[in-house]
Amino acid sequence: MFEIIELIGTSKEGYSQAVQNAVNDAAAQGWDVHFVEVIQQRGSVRNGAICEYQAVVKVAGRKK
């Protein structure tokens, strides 16, 4: 059985990297990640340009 946690990943490069960063954070916290679901994508805008991409994700896995 998997547990599900919700995280927010961020990146200056794009949404895909924000999702990957969230998965990396989960792994760094000791999770053996099996799948990820993207719940929401958003970004911070400064002076008319996106300066940070954000991805709200649910990560499923087992604590190592």
Cα–Cα distance measured from residue 63 to residue 49, given in angstroms and rounded to the nearest whole number:
38
Q: Looking at the DSSP assignment, which residues form a beta bridge with residue 50?
A: 45
- What's the pLDDT score for residue 26? 98
- What's the pLDDT score for residue 25? 97
% of the chain residues with pLDDT over 90: 98
Residues 30-43 have a mean pLDDT of 97
Q: Please classify residue 42 by burial: count the beta carbons closer than 10 Å to its beta carbon, then call 0-12 exposed, 13-18 middle and 19+ buried.
A: middle
Q: What is the pTM of this model?
A: 0.92
Cα–Cα distance measured from residue 18 to residue 53, given in angstroms and rounded to the nearest whole number:
6
Cα–Cα distance measured from residue 7 to residue 39, given in angstroms and rounded to the nearest whole number:
10
List, for residues 4-33, the tens digit of each pLDDT value: 999 999 999 999 999 999 999 999 999 999
Average pLDDT, the chain: 97
Domains of the chain are: 3-63 (3.30.1660.10)
